[in-house]
Structure 1
Amino acid sequence: MDTIITRFPPSPTGYLHIGGARTALFNWLYARKKKGKFVLRIEDTDAARSTEESVDAILESLEWLGIDWDEGPYFQTQRYDIYNEYIEKLIKSGAAYYCSCTPEEIDAMREEAKANGQKPMYNGKCRNRNLEKADNTVVRLKTPDSGVTIVQDVVKGATSFQNSEIDDFIIRRSDGSAMYNLAVVIDDLTMGINTIIRGDDHLINTPKQMLIYQALGAEMPVFGHVPMVLGADKSRLSKRHGAMSVGEYKKMGFLPDAMINYLVRLGWSHGDQEFFTRDDLIEKFNLEHLGRSASMFDTDKLTALNAKHIQSKSPAELADHLLFHLKELGIDAQNNAFTQGVIETLQPRSKTLVEMAQGAVFYYLDEVQFDEKAAKKFLKPDVLDMLQKSAGYIKGLEAYTQEALENVFKQIMEETDLKFGKIAQPLRVAITGTTVSPGIFEMLLALGKEKTVQRIEAAIRLIQDNS
């Protein structure tokens, strides 16, 4: 086989969900691993359900995941002439024919077959009638009456289908539009697709598609059908399991690298390794280690993996993702030294970017919003002297470093005879408005000298006003 060419062909009838994203990822990784091509095709022939909004959402989700494409997006609705060209070839070669049977006649055939204990299917009535094209005619593929069609699957192994149970199926409707199986084969053939990795719900279509390839005398692609993704309770994945659109996971604060790391592990393994960078995956991905059994989606495991990816990245890398979540909270921040310093204080404790953004809010406020209970408990007259000393000594620092801050509080501890714990909590409330924050020194350093002093002085005024 020459250059590996894979594809992802979503239908724009909704958003990109977990199963589709995983399929796209497997195809993308294999193309990147083999230095091949990854093609994006939009299968939009369902005019009643396809929307531009869905197309945009799918493209946006792929871009967020970092799944880029080398060709496309192609749209099936713009390719009808190509489908008809190939259908005419099949008719001329005798591999396909016109059929004028009505829906009522087809129903009668199926009922008769059922009554005889046979599979309900079209009986080939028009196969040898040599009909011409008319307003009421469809085009059917002439399928073999005997033998088997064997799908050689790189995931599932060989699966056999009896040709006697595959009827002469329709490849073009009476309105002139191509059927799904025909359109898919022609698209893959004309786009040079030679490796098809898709969900095993498509396996039932594969023998029909193989028969179209054979009728055209075309080389068969490599097929790999991957099992479904299930919920933690082993039932079909649904919204109650967290099966939302990929865009929702962005809003929930997951990193794209964590998402693709988790998705690829839903059906592929490399020994016992769980954590993968994007480059790791491209280097190590293969078809041989795609699993044959269904995988269970577990939001808790995704969250734990996300925390590891957050910890593995530099503050500068995280800032580009965090800005979106800060904006959602009404904070207009920049990827600068201040934001990167803020991230550094929150990074070890954050499982998601939403958590990180919520924890970062106090850094960006012009005025601290004091939690009423926290202020009542910790900002009392007996800490006034300590806070005044803190503001004064910090203001007088020439070098605003952790060592300098540590020396300030050692001096305050000596002068007030307070242990650091008695100093830290009132100071934390003064700086953040709450009782929970990153470590005192890292927080003060990230906040900066000027803001630190301003906030301590604001807490002093609050105590004085309430005394």
Structure 2
Amino acid sequence: MKVRTRFAPSPTGLLHIGGVRTALFSWAFAKKHGGQFVLRIEDTDLERSTPESVAAIMDGMHWVGLDYDEGPFYQMQRMDRYKTVIQHLLDSGHAYYCYCSKEELEAQRAEAESRGEKPRYNRAWRPETGKTLPAIPSDITPVVRFKTPMGGSVVWYDQVKGRIEISHDELDDLILARPDGTPTYNFCVVVDDWDMQITHVIRGDDHVNNTPRQIVIYQALDATVPLFAHLPMIHNDQGVKLSKRRDAVSVVDYDKQGILPEALLNYLARLGWGHGDDEIFSLTQFIEWFDLKDVSGSPSRMDRDKLLWTNAQYIKAADPAQLAARVAGFLADKGVSTEGGPALADVCALLKDRCQTLVEMADQAEYFYRALTPTQEIADKHLTPTDEERLKLFAEAAASLATWDAASLGALIKEFVKQQGVKMPQVGMPIRAKVCGITNTPSVDAVLALLGREEVLRRLVA
């Protein structure tokens, strides 16, 4: 069996972080088994689906770097196929027209609720042997309903949750097509996965209730039922399902926060899956290790601190030139131009062991490209009149350096501290405050060397 998986988001908003994990697991499973990973856009919700959301999904997939082998396929371009299959189900007796009005359905619902029962359609229009159907009303455009089997149950072995059994009596006669002819979600999914020969449906466990409804349609079509794997939901650090109103839930949020996409994927891989104590690993290694049997059936929690730690490991290991290409955008957002300053790659090389995000790196890189005014608190503590006089003397000594590099500057600072009869912080901190505008910087000699003689001297006497 050639493994074929799919990721099928609905374009009703930004690409959700839970969707990215689903895509990652589906992608890795296909790659591990030498199969194909398919991207499908489920855009039949005409009221909520938008071109902007489609673009956001495509941009998000590109940003995280999950490549797909086929697609993207769009459900709205497959309407003729859905109509053909619906007609086949009608002709084979597995579907029927239902002429119940909205008022009748609401009355059925109210009656069931009054008895404390689960609301469901009373199957008034379901054809049965010996049953006389009502007269067809002239003012009602019918829906098409699926003829769900009576008695028995749907059983499947979920690749994450194990054996699941749902009684047919729990299933309603599902609407396959609305009065305007547009097909419904559960039906379209079955036809799509059937046509696309999907072997493994890996998705969130909020779809568990849809699975039995889909399996009975597969069976009616005499189609091969794929294997299902329902992934547990992702919760926030409070143990509550992620909310768009409360939590960072889209890949755009994490991009804006300066999270590297490869770090995000590494972190998401560890949400509900693990390989011993391994925390940092490449996608190649993840593909080799990944197996659905190792996915936990319990919800996972987003741990912000753990994500930042993971991101920091990737920043430390990153090539400075690649970091510079990414940090440049964050500096531009701050209105900072890197022209005329040190090479941004050299700045990133100096800062990368100190930063957890690219935003933090851009903030720390700013003083290399424009002088920053220290806060009043910093000035009061480190730029007293005595400090200012000492900085002028240091500037004179620095101006006479034969070689402007970190080693020479480090030796100069040590000698200057000795001459002044003070401790290192009484020189180092004022230099940082005056030159950088902040006091939390890398080694002061390395900072001064990178800034360059002319700029450092200019700032020291400003």
Q: So what's the TM-score if we normalise by structure 1?
A: 0.89
Structure 1 residues 448 and 31, CA gap change in structure 2 (3 angstroms): farther
Q: CA deviation at 1:8?
A: 1.4
Counterpart in 1 of 2:311? 306
Counterpart in 2 of 1:178? 183
> Aligned residues: percent identity?
43
Counterpart in 1 of 2:406? 402
The question of 1:457 aligning with 2:461 is answered yes
Q: CA deviation at 1:203?
A: 0.7
The question of 1:32 aligning with 2:31 is answered yes
User: Which of 100-109 and 258-267 deviates more?
Assistant: 100-109
Contact 2:342 2:368 in 1 (8 A): no
Q: CA deviation at 1:59?
A: 2.0
The question of 1:11 aligning with 2:23 is answered no
Contact 2:232 2:298 in 1 (8 A): yes
Opposite residue 409 of structure 1, the aligned amino acid is I
Counterpart in 1 of 2:330? 325
The question of 1:431 aligning with 2:435 is answered yes
Q: CA deviation at 1:241?
A: 5.5
Structure 1 residues 436 and 28, CA gap change in structure 2 (3 angstroms): same
Contact 1:151 1:206 in 2 (8 A): no
Find the aligned partners of 2:56 and 2:23 in 1 and give their Cα distance.
15
Structure 1 residues 63 and 133, CA gap change in structure 2 (3 angstroms): farther
* Alignment counterpart, residue 364 of structure 2, candidates 359, 367, 377: 359
The question of 1:446 aligning with 2:450 is answered yes
Find the aligned partners of 2:137 and 2:302 in 1 and give their Cα distance.
50
* Alignment counterpart, residue 426 of structure 2, candidates 422, 428, 443: 422
SS at match of 1:331: coil
Contact 2:4 2:36 in 1 (8 A): yes
Find the aligned partners of 1:133 and 1:214 in 2 and give their Cα distance.
32
User: Which of 346-355 and 117-126 deviates more?
Assistant: 117-126
Contact 1:27 1:197 in 2 (8 A): yes
Opposite residue 409 of structure 2, the aligned amino acid is L
The question of 1:138 aligning with 2:138 is answered no
Contact 2:407 2:445 in 1 (8 A): no
Structure 1 residues 263 and 241, CA gap change in structure 2 (3 angstroms): farther
Q: Deviations over 1:272-324 (max 9, x none)?
A: 22223333322222211111111122222222222222223232232232222
Q: Which runs of 5+ in 1 are unaligned?
A: 459-467
Find the aligned partners of 1:18 and 1:118 in 2 and give their Cα distance.
36
Find the aligned partners of 1:238 and 1:192 in 2 and give their Cα distance.
33
Find the aligned partners of 2:445 and 2:137 in 1 and give their Cα distance.
82
Q: So what's the TM-score if we normalise by structure 2?
A: 0.90
User: Which of 284-293 and 37-46 deviates more?
Assistant: 37-46
* Alignment counterpart, residue 353 of structure 2, candidates 348, 354, 361: 348
Opposite residue 153 of structure 2, the aligned amino acid is V
Q: CA deviation at 1:221?
A: 0.9
Structure 1 residues 393 and 283, CA gap change in structure 2 (3 angstroms): farther
Contact 1:229 1:296 in 2 (8 A): yes
The question of 1:215 aligning with 2:240 is answered no
Q: Deviations over 1:338-375 (max 9, x none)?
A: 2122122322221222222111111111x442434434
Map 1:354-393 to 2 at 5 A.
354-365=359-370, 367-383=371-387, 386-393=390-397
Opposite residue 180 of structure 1, the aligned amino acid is Y
The question of 1:124 aligning with 2:123 is answered yes
Contact 1:389 1:412 in 2 (8 A): no
The question of 1:104 aligning with 2:108 is answered no
* Alignment counterpart, residue 149 of structure 1, candidates 154, 161, 186: 154
SS at match of 1:38: strand
Find the aligned partners of 1:456 and 1:117 in 2 and give their Cα distance.
80
Q: CA deviation at 1:133?
A: 12
Find the aligned partners of 1:119 and 1:363 in 2 and give their Cα distance.
66
Find the aligned partners of 2:41 and 2:97 in 1 and give their Cα distance.
29
Opposite residue 266 of structure 1, the aligned amino acid is L
Q: CA deviation at 1:137?
A: 1.8
SS at match of 1:44: coil
Find the aligned partners of 1:74 and 1:211 in 2 and give their Cα distance.
24
Opposite residue 216 of structure 2, the aligned amino acid is L
User: Which of 44-53 and 107-116 deviates more?
Assistant: 107-116
* Alignment counterpart, residue 287 of structure 1, candidates 270, 289, 292: 292
Contact 1:182 1:212 in 2 (8 A): yes
Contact 2:233 2:300 in 1 (8 A): yes
Find the aligned partners of 2:374 and 2:235 in 1 and give their Cα distance.
45
Q: CA deviation at 1:198?
A: 0.8
Contact 1:386 1:412 in 2 (8 A): no
Contact 2:399 2:457 in 1 (8 A): yes
Q: CA deviation at 1:439?
A: 1.5
Q: Deviations over 1:225-256 (max 9, x none)?
A: 11111222322222575243221121122221
Find the aligned partners of 2:110 and 2:382 in 1 and give their Cα distance.
81
Q: CA deviation at 1:175?
A: 0.8
Structure 1 residues 337 and 268, CA gap change in structure 2 (3 angstroms): farther
Structure 1 residues 139 and 386, CA gap change in structure 2 (3 angstroms): same
Find the aligned partners of 2:114 and 2:381 in 1 and give their Cα distance.
82
Find the aligned partners of 1:233 and 1:374 in 2 and give their Cα distance.
37
Q: CA deviation at 1:32?
A: 2.6
Structure 1 residues 121 and 360, CA gap change in structure 2 (3 angstroms): same
Counterpart in 1 of 2:416? 412
Counterpart in 1 of 2:253? 248
